[in-house]
A and B are shown apart, each in its own frame.
Chain A
Amino acid sequence: MDDQGCPRCKTTKYRNPSLKLMVNVCGHTLCENCVDMLFVRGSGNCVQCDTPLRKSNFRLQLFEDPAIDKEVEIRKRVLKIYNKRDFDFSSLREYNDYLEQVEEIVYNLTNNVDVERTKQIMEQYQRENRDVIQRNKVKLTREQEELEEILLLEQQDTEQRRLETLQEEQRQLQAKRKNKQALLDELERSQLPASILLAQHKDRAAQLETQIEKQKQSVKPTTIFSTGIPKGQTVSLAPVIRVEEVLYKYQPINVETYGPPLPELEQLDRLGYLNHVRTATPQDLAGGYTSELACHRALQDAFSGLFTSLV
């Protein structure tokens, strides 16, 4: 975000990294201070494109490119109207056509192409599909509610756990304090010698410690896996159906060289060809070059095509 400056006061952005950029419906950015200064009366014109704007329309910029923020806003608005889902359509093709329509509308509104006509199309669609929109809105809110419920549950769980640990600590502290107090009381009252009392006290303290340790280590057993599947559910262990096809049989390729047969790369040494080729130096060998390669290549070239137009 630091490479972008506020288009109006330019310098202030770099000097103050905590300053935020705000975007509004025309897609241009302004830093917070400039927004406050220009829109002190509540409404004004954009610095770059002179469209009339309201201060309330300014939102914190989430993306580096203000055009993306603008598009995100437009998309939210459009999807509020065009909220059909994939099971609302009878075929995949229709769903894809619908999605393409939506994309075109968003594109037109973002790039100020045919704005009037697009708005008219949107209004028409809204009028025609009013009930479908309503139904889907309800469905959507229900889903959102369910999500929120789950979130709430999680939050409550963590709260609970936090409280419990706190309480545990408190109890342990209190137990320790009581122990110390008991020792002092006994030292006052009892007839036994001090050393025995101290030994007894130490024993009790050690017992307390081990108890605390044991409690810390005992984990509360859970009833569900981390993905949400409850434990204890029976899983079918039936084997997956095998699909067998025709086995692939390797056929070696047959290349016609139109020439006499060539010895194999590995045979060259045995047949004595390598005595007549320059031996590979250690540097060549390190790179992966062997003298067989050069020898084989020369022989290949010599024999290839020798009998063309003769057979």
Chain B
Amino acid sequence: MYHNSSQKKYWTFDNEAPLEQMRHEANQKYRSKAISLRKPGINDSSFLDPREEKVLFRHYEKRLLDFCSVFKPAMPKSVVGTACMYFRRFYLNNSLMEYHPRTIMLTCAYLSCKVDEFNVSSTQFVGNLQENPASQERALEQILEYELLLIQQLNFHLVVHNPYRPMEGFIIDLKTRYPMLENPEMLRKNADDFLNRAAVTDAGLLFSPSQIALTAVLNSAARAGLKMETYLTECMGLKDDKETLSKMYDAMRRMTILLKEYELPRPEEVNVCKQKLERIHAEFAQTTNLLMAPVERRKEEGRRGCSVRF
């Protein structure tokens, strides 16, 4: 359950500051590593700065969601949510310049299918890519190469609690204990929409999934013009606990602001950043492989021989 999960212990932060800090540190770490290679013609400006990384990150996240939405067979929502969360957590500690987001995004989706027990064979998985079979095969090889790295960078915390089931729980609870609301079903669509928008923000790293689900429900009710404060005071037993109540409202307000602030990056900006990224990867791709410590390299080679495909 969430309350004794690794997500609560290790992957939930108080506010955006530690998140920004971690991303900044990952960026710096890669920069210093790359500079130590002392390649000619590379100076500070050829690296991506955190803002550009954010642009690219959002772009590739959108592509991940698109990939999952056209996936055949239909991917359940929890798998998509888990994949998004893996993507987000990975790039909390690593820079986009070091690992290309396209491969990582496919690896996240692949791993998420496995973890959430959504059985897809590896050939079926790459069959969903719009390419010829040869490049599909190559993509699969890359995915399998990066799989262990992804698991490692997630610190082996693979279980992700998504807000979809809590939302169902709230709707059931509303129907049972809150007669003032005549038809909670009509809240469902907007709440769903809210959750999808929350998945592309940092909300999953800042709030618990039940909080996100509650915010979704209340937001949807507010949008429909219904008042639901008594739900919190009566049913959740917060009538006498003013402090918790106010903190709850605070958290919900912060979350809605987060969602509002999200905007999809413009295509021109994306292209500029993409070009920079490709150049960096072309320059450093070979050398970073050799930079890996011998133990890591042997591990990679050994693992390649025994990757599990199903």
Contacts and interface: CB of A to CB of B under 8 A. Distances in A.
A310 B248 contact: yes
Interface of A: 255-261, 271-273, 275-277, 295, 297-311
What's the dominant secondary structure at chain B's contact region? helix
Given A307-B244, A310-B244, A310-B251, A301 B1 contact: yes
A154 B214 CA distance: 86
Interface stretch (B111-119, B149-157, B205-213): B205-213
Contact of A305 (B167, B211, B236): B211
B8 A299 contact: no
A299 B209 contact: no
B14 interface: yes
B210 A304 contact: yes
Interface in B11-43: 12, 14
A258 B209 CA distance: 12
B3 A301 contact: no
Given A260-B237, A275-B175, 4 more contacts: A273-B172, A276-B172, A304-B3, A310-B251
23 contacts: A258-B208, A260-B236, A260-B237, A261-B237, A275-B176, A276-B171, A276-B172, A277-B172, A298-B165, A299-B169, A299-B172, A299-B173, A301-B166, A302-B167, A302-B169, A302-B173, A304-B208, A305-B210, A306-B208, A306-B210, A306-B211, A309-B14, A310-B248
B165 A259 contact: no
Given A260-B237, A273-B176, A300-B169, A305 B248 contact: no
Contact of B176 (A258, A271, A305, A309): A271
Given A257-B1, A261-B237, A301 B176 contact: no
Interface string B190-212: 00000000000000000011110
Given A259-B3, A261-B237, A301 B169 contact: yes
A305 B74 CA distance: 30
B89 interface: no
Contacts of A309: 12, 14, 251
Contacts of A261: 237
B165 A255 contact: no
Give the 10 A-B CB pairs with smallest separation, nearest first: A302-B169, A305-B208, A298-B169, A310-B247, A302-B166, A276-B175, A305-B2, A301-B165, A304-B2, A306-B210
Q: How large is the interface on B (under 10, 10 to 19, 20 to 34, 35 or more residues)?
A: 20 to 34
A304 B1 contact: yes
Contacts of B235: 260
Interface string B132-173: 000000000000000000000000000001000111111111
Nearest to B246: A310
Contacts of A272: 176
A37 B2 CA distance: 79
B1 A306 contact: no
Contacts of A295: 172
Contacts of B247: 310
Contacts of B214: 302, 306
B289 interface: no
B4 interface: yes
Contacts of B168: 298, 302
A130 B292 CA distance: 64
Given A256-B3, A273-B176, A307-B244, A301 B161 contact: yes
A301 B2 contact: yes
B235 to A, nearest CB: 8
B13 to A, nearest CB: 10
Nearest to B185: A276
A258 B3 contact: yes
A298 B172 contact: yes
B8 A305 contact: yes
- Among A258, A259, A302, the most chain B Cβ lie within 10 Å of the Cβ of A302
Contacts of B167: 302
- Among A277, A297, A301, the most chain B Cβ lie within 10 Å of the Cβ of A301
A257 B247 CA distance: 18
A309 B252 CA distance: 13
A297 B236 CA distance: 18
- Among B169, B214, B247, the most chain A Cβ lie within 10 Å of the Cβ of B169
Nearest to A311: B244
B1 A300 contact: yes
Contacts of B248: 307, 310
